[in-house]
Structure 1
Amino acid sequence: MTSVEPAPAVPSGPEQAPSVTSLKPARPTRSARPGRKNRDWLHGLLMSAPAVVGLIVFVGVPFGYAVVLSFYNVRLGSPLEPTFFGLEQYRRLFTDPDLSGPFLRALLNNLTFAVVVVPVQTALALGLAILLNRKLKAIGLFRSLFFMPVVFPMALVAVIWRLILARSDQGMLNSALDAVSFGNWGAFDWLGDGATAMASIIVLSIWQGVGFQMVILLAGLQQIPGELYEAAELDRAGRWQQFRHVTLPGIRGTLVFVAMLTSVLSFRVFDQVYVLVRGGGLDEDAARTVMYQAVTTAFDQNNIGQASAITVVFFLIVVVLTLIQRRVVRPGNED
């Protein structure tokens, strides 16, 4: 007769066999993650420290000092001590006809300049970038030629365009129009006429700055994979369809950046206006900008407090317009 071996006893209570879940490897502790985040934050802070310090020293501190000066009656070169004015400088800026009139006219000129320059310069820069985004011989030379005006100082550019737009028959534009019209074109004052003064500044500024936006958009175009265009050609997409469905989506973020950068720069227009008003016969009322108004108030009228109030108000206006623009044209992938 065969013997039956008894089944092994199953331990009970605290001596039970370990469960399946207890046999899984323990998860790594998260104690190291906060330390890694702290190190990344410290590294980022150290890398951005030079830019942050420069921004504080050259932008934050002067702007804070301008805010303080806007509450005082400060006269440049005056032996009198500055007196506290409170909000008087701001009240005069909007209620005094002698101050509010030029300021509002300068603000309107700035808005007109930005409304025209931002879309026209961005579209022209995009067209040039597409034109130069080709594998041709000496393409680097053509890119350099289009970018060259950006390297020129704005004062030099203003002097060059003063020769082009001069009122006399020796002006290059008047001479060209006179030759085309067989001597029937008179000497027109492009800079001194109120109807064409701001238009002249706009053309000058677009010619000088379009190369910078072109380089940025060209870099964005070169980041678009060529396979997307090949796939579009296989789907028999035309040039316009490729532009709409491949090129524009591929550089949407770059276009937004260029538009915002151009907007900020367009509100800073000063050099060309100052040079052409002082030495080119530019109509001052038709082409004055807020920056020009602030500089002339500070150094021609010696009113530092009023000039500071102008800069503070203008800074707030530009910040609000920039935030609105960013909200409207931001890329769709942003929260």
Structure 2
Amino acid sequence: MTSSTTSVAPPRPPATPGRARRSSAGSRGERRSGLAMAAPAALLLGLFLIVPVLLAFGLSFTNARLISPNPPRFVGLDNFIRAFTSDPVFLRSVLNTFLFAIVVVPVQAGLGLLLAVLVNQKLRGVTFFRIVYFIPVVTSIVVVSILWKFMYQPSGLINSFIDTVTFGALQGADWLNNPRTALPAIIVLSIWQAVGFHMLIWLSGLQTIPGELYEAARMDGADAWAQFKNVTWPGLRSTMIFVLVTITIAALGLFVQIDVMTQGGPQNATTTIVYHAVRKGYREQETGYGAAISLIFFVLVLVIALVQRFVTREKD
């Protein structure tokens, strides 16, 4: 008959006051090190983001000018009342901004998803197409705007292409100098330039969907559309929210293309809220009024982002 013995670990000695003090000192040292490493980023964030926002908020209630011998004077809500009652260019800029966003957001998101589905196929040479679609994203938007400005000229590449394809039956337009075609021309440029970035976001979302779900759907007899509807689209919900929010914010903040290509013309057909704020605040030196327009823009973007988040929220 054999007997087994069970070994019991000896109890740990209680922590001594000296050890506790050393542990507390080590925690404080780690905390100080973390704060020291975060301090440069926090300083830059406060200096170039928080302080300008606070200054813009304060200036929006004054009649401050960029260069003036007179000190700023508090005018209350006069700048905001002026924007909505006696500044038709501001109202036109709001309309242009929303028209731009209404077209760009769905088209760019849908086209990006289509390209992502195409380049997600396991085919030879698909990496080449991913690079080609992404090249406009890494190209400076200023350079892209200058190139497209030349292409949109009456004797530019686009009109030459139209004349060649139609054998002279159709004549191209003066795209950027016609109030009816200037904004659509900038919309086409903007979609082409940024669709590659959102294609990449959609592609990353597609690659997180397990392949087993597609195999199960095929075993159930689902065709390609049924697989997309029941597997792909539900799996892209979080990606869809991110894409919609980022496209909307970028579309509402349209500025560079306008500044390079049309300067708000012709006849204010391409003026946007951001461009109007910059023009009033710097070029016409009405700093207080420009700050008020910027504050209005901030509130509009915040409201639209919150509405989007509410509409696309997870429902129980």
Instruction: Give the TM-score range, shorter chain.
Output: 0.7 to 0.9
Of 245, 258, 266 in structure 2, the residue corresponding to residue 283 of structure 1 is 266
Change (3 A) 1:330 1:48: farther
Does the 8 Å CA contact 2:153/2:175 hold for their aligned counterparts?
yes
Aligned match of 1:26: none
Does the 8 Å CA contact 1:118/1:262 hold for their aligned counterparts?
yes
Structure 1, unpaired ranges of 5+: 1-34
Residues 1:316 and 2:299 aligned together: yes
Shift of 1:299: 1.9
Does the 8 Å CA contact 1:252/1:331 hold for their aligned counterparts?
no
Q: Hey, which bits of structure 1, 4+ residues long, moved more than 4 A? A: 45-55
Of 40, 43, 61 in structure 2, the residue corresponding to residue 71 of structure 1 is 61
Of 64, 73, 85 in structure 2, the residue corresponding to residue 83 of structure 1 is 73
Aligned match of 1:57: 47
Does the 8 Å CA contact 2:162/2:172 hold for their aligned counterparts?
no
CA distance in 1, matches of 2:204, 2:48: 29
Q: Residue deviations 1:224-251, cap 9 Å, x none?
A: 0000000111001000000000000111
Map 1:126-141 to 2 at 5 A.
126-141=113-128
TM-score normalized with structure 1 length: 0.80
Change (3 A) 1:173 1:293: same
Of 108, 111, 118 in structure 2, the residue corresponding to residue 124 of structure 1 is 111
CA distance in 1, matches of 2:315, 2:71: 54
Shift of 1:206: 0.4
CA distance in 2, matches of 1:225, 1:165: 45
Change (3 A) 1:55 1:325: farther
CA distance in 2, matches of 1:257, 1:52: 25
How many residues were matched structurally?
A: 287
Aligned match of 2:152: 165
Change (3 A) 1:229 1:111: same
Shift of 1:140: 2.1
Shift of 1:106: 0.3
Residues 1:296 and 2:286 aligned together: no
Aligned match of 2:10: none
Residues 1:143 and 2:130 aligned together: yes
Shift of 1:325: 1.0
Aligned match of 1:219: 204
Does the 8 Å CA contact 1:277/1:284 hold for their aligned counterparts?
no
3-state SS of the aligned residue for 1:85? coil
The percentage of counterpart residues that share the same residue type is: 44
Shift of 1:187: 4.3
Aligned match of 2:85: 95
CA distance in 2, matches of 1:106, 1:282: 11
Change (3 A) 1:284 1:68: same
Change (3 A) 1:150 1:50: farther
CA distance in 2, matches of 1:318, 1:227: 40
CA distance in 1, matches of 2:147, 2:290: 30
Change (3 A) 1:254 1:153: same
Aligned match of 1:14: none
Structure 2, unpaired ranges of 5+: 1-23
Aligned match of 2:215: 230
Aligned match of 1:305: 288
Change (3 A) 1:187 1:128: closer
Q: Residue deviations 1:246-266, cap 9 Å, x none?
A: 000111110111001111111
Does the 8 Å CA contact 2:142/2:256 hold for their aligned counterparts?
yes
3-state SS of the aligned residue for 2:247? helix
CA distance in 1, matches of 2:201, 2:40: 24
